[in-house]
Every structure is written in C-alpha cells, then in structure tokens.
Amino acid sequence: MKKKICILAFEPVASEKRILRQVYLANNLFQVDVISIKKWSHPKNIKYFELERTQRSFLFMLIFGIKLIIGKLFPSSYENVFWLKKEYSQALNILKKENYDLIHANDWDGLPVAVHGSHGKKTKVLFDAHEYTPEQNSDNWLIRTFVIPFRVYMLRKYYSNDIKMITVGKGISNLYKENFGWEPDSILNTSYYEKTAFHKVNPEKIKLIHHGWAIKGRYLEELIKMMRFLDDRFHLYFMLLSRENDNYFKKLQSLSQKISKECITFLPPVSPGVLTQEINKFDIGIPLLKTRQLSYYFSLPNKFFDYILAGLGVVIPPLPAMAEIIREHGIGRIAQSQSPKDMADMLNALTTDEINQFKHNSLALAKVYNAEHEMAKLSDIYSELLNKQ
C-alpha cells in the first residue's frame, strides 16, 4: 500500500511553481492530498482541500494589530494571534481527520498547523521554510516591529529536531544555522530542463528582461532608473504579474514613461509552461538590482534559474549566492554596487562576444541546475523520513 503524503500551503498552489513541483513529484511516488487556498484544476488522483481564506477586513486587521501589540508585551499570547485566521483552523481539522505518513508544510505558517496535526500520530513533518522568515518584508517598519517577532516566536516554539527542514538555497540555510542553530538542507528553485536554442545577440538591440511579481520591496524602479545611464543599444523588457488595481505596478509604468519610454516595454505575463521558451527570446536577465533584506541578499530566486534554463546571460549587483554561480560558470557579470549607475556601467562595458559567451555557458549550465536534479534530492528526503517510521 502506498504511503500517504499531505502537501500543505497557505498560498495558491496553482501559481506556486515550487509547491507544484512538490505535488507532482509526490504524486508519482505516493498517495497525495493537497491543502491550499483558491481553486485549482488538480489531477484526478489527487484529493484537494480548498480552504476559505480569511477576509482582511478593517475590523479583522484592527483586532489582529491590537493582538500583535499585546504579543510584544506578552509573547505567549502570540498563539491566539495565529489562530485568528480561519484557514489555519480549517487545515488543522483536515489533518486531524485524515491519516498521513508525512506532512510537507510550506512556509513559516505551515509549521504550527503541521505540528498540531501530527500530534498523537506517527506522522512525520517536513518543513519547507522557503526564504529566511525573520527578514521577509523587513523593510516595512510595521512588519519588522510587530509581525516578524510573532513569526519568529512561532518558528522557535514549533520547530524541533524531530522535524526535517529545507530552504531554497545554501545562503538561506546558513542564516538559519547562524541565528537559530538549525541545519536545513536546500532544494533549489529550478524548473525542469527544456532544450532551448542559442540566439546571437543583435549588437544594435540587446534585450534585457526582468519577470516576476511587481512587489514594492524588490525596488523595480531602480531598473528603470538604470536606463538613464545605458547605451542606446539596450532595451529593457518587464514581464510582470500584478494584483488588480496595483498602484505600484502603475507607478512603474508611469516612471518608465518619464525616464525612457522608447527603451522600456511592459509585456503581458505568460503561463509557467511556456515561460522558458518566451524568455529564450531575450539576451540578459536581471533578477534583482537593489535589496535591503537578507532574505533577498542571500537568495537564489526562481527567475535566476529561469534565465539560466532559457540560455541568457545574467547580471546582478554583488549578491553572494548568485555571484558564486555566475563567477564559477561564466554566465554573466556582477556590478560593483546596488546603484543603477554601477549596473549600467558594467553593462555598457560588455561586448557582443562576451554576451554570446554568457548565453552559451548558461545553456550548458542548464543541464546541471534543473528540477530533475533538485527533485531527486527531495525524493531522497521523502524516502529518508518515511523509512524512519
């Protein structure tokens, strides 16, 4: 009889590539249930529990904020803060009713629910922290002051040596080791390998690309400011996801019109299934230009590997995790600082031959950094945990 695994996530599974890879890997090996929010067209042999997400009304946010303030004075009350969100209680009720051999809990808020759901059972817990929780959104002072202490308290309370932990990269894992004494393994955020064609750079129009969510803390306006200093041969393309009536996305569009409307183009986002082939049309990917968060500083984001898989050169500011791969494999360049001017100076100094070589090197590296390798590591972790039973 197949072992039974639950993939738990309080983000929409349909739009989270990392979680989807977990689901499809587990589905090849085990009986799989998924607990998440929003609708999802799931495979017929997967049982899907759709949670009702708490509405962030003014009254709810007021109560939530007051309880966070109380928690700063009396941290034990953070437990009550956590269970204010009904999706957590709904997920816990499902876990209590079902019998799982393993719960794969995603992100910090999956951990307390999974631990409670495993009580009194032989269920193992795999905690995927993804990023470094104590630094996520830390450039917002309200979150830094009131929300992050709450999250850290819950992490410390519910993590134990009986739980296996993973993150998205070695740099993030090292932060947990240095600050918490935990030693997570890393599963990189890579997509599955696709063979893509090599396209020579057009010397008169070098195409830069940034794709992903339009999130204020990623400082995408810095990429737009960079265009002031770039040669005419460069053109920047954004392929951004945004929420309805997103003011930040509108501000980016407005700024691009003021600074360099002829050299900046906003493209509609594409589905994950065609992303690699679409990005292959460009020359250089820029994952990030500015960050004030350690979770970004040490990050190895999806888009970094997307650019490698698509055969692009990659340029970044001095961010150590990505820089190590770029230097070792010759797939791009690293600017001297996080300033738009320094990034532009580095790009202006590139020759067509150098960019073509970066692209060749990325195509070769794509055979190493891909989901086939990373999912094999996750498969081994599943086997290790289930065999311990």
DSSP for 265-332, please give it: EEE----GGGHHHHHTT-SEE---S----HHHHT---HHHHHHHHTT-EEEESS-HHHHHHHHHHT-E
- What does the mean pLDDT of the chain come to? 94
The pLDDT-based confidence of 86 (bands split at 50, 70, 90) is very high
Q: What are phi and psi of 245, to 5 degrees?
A: 55, 40
Q: Same domain for 164 and 224?
A: no
Same domain, 109 and 214: no
* pLDDT at 318 > cutoff 80: yes
Tell me what the mean pLDDT of segment 236-251 comes to: 88
Range scoring the smallest mean pLDDT among 213-217, 241-245, 325-329, 350-354: 241-245
Cα 126–chain centre separation: 18
What CATH number does residue 179 fall under?
A: 3.40.50.2000
State the total domains in the chain. Answer: 2
Report the pLDDT value the prediction gives residue 293, as an integer from 0 to 100.
82
DSSP label of 167: E
* Residue 120 placed within a domain: yes
Q: Please give the pLDDT value at position 177.
A: 96
pLDDT of residue 244: 65
What average pLDDT does this structure show over 374-383?
97
Work out the average pLDDT over 231-254: 90
* pLDDT surpassing 70 at residue 56: yes
pLDDT above 70: residue 17: yes
Q: Residue 27 half-sphere exposure, CB side, CA atoms within 13 Å?
A: 16
The radius of gyration computed from the CA coordinates of the chain, to the nearest angstrom, equals: 22
Task: Summarize the confidence of residues 213-241 as an average pLDDT.
Answer: 94
Residue type, 361: N
Same domain, 265 and 361: yes
C-alpha triplet 13, 99, 50: angle, nearest 5°:
30
Amino acid making up residue 15? S
> Are 261 and 341 members of one domain?
yes
> Based on the domain organization, do 321 and 381 belong to the same domain?
no
- Residue 324's domain spans which residues? 206-365
**Do 169 and 224 belong to one domain?**
no
Report the pLDDT averaged over residues 266-285: 93
Q: List, in order, residues 6 or more apart from 2 with CB less than 8 Å away.
A: 29, 30, 31
334, 326 in Cβ contact below 8 A?
Answer: yes
Taking residues 216-229, report their average pLDDT. 94
| Identity of the residue numbered 80 | N
The arithmetic mean of pLDDT across residues 70-74, rounded, is 94
Average pLDDT over residues 30-45: 94
In a domain, 55, yes or no: yes
Dihedral sign, CA of 340, 342, 344, 347?
negative
**Phi-psi bin for 273: left (phi > 0), alpha (psi -120 to 50), beta?**
alpha
Q: What is the pLDDT of residue 138?
A: 81
Using DSSP, state whether 164 is helix, strand or coil: strand
Same domain, 262 and 328: yes
Same domain? For 252 and 126 the reply is: no
Structural domain contains residue 299: yes
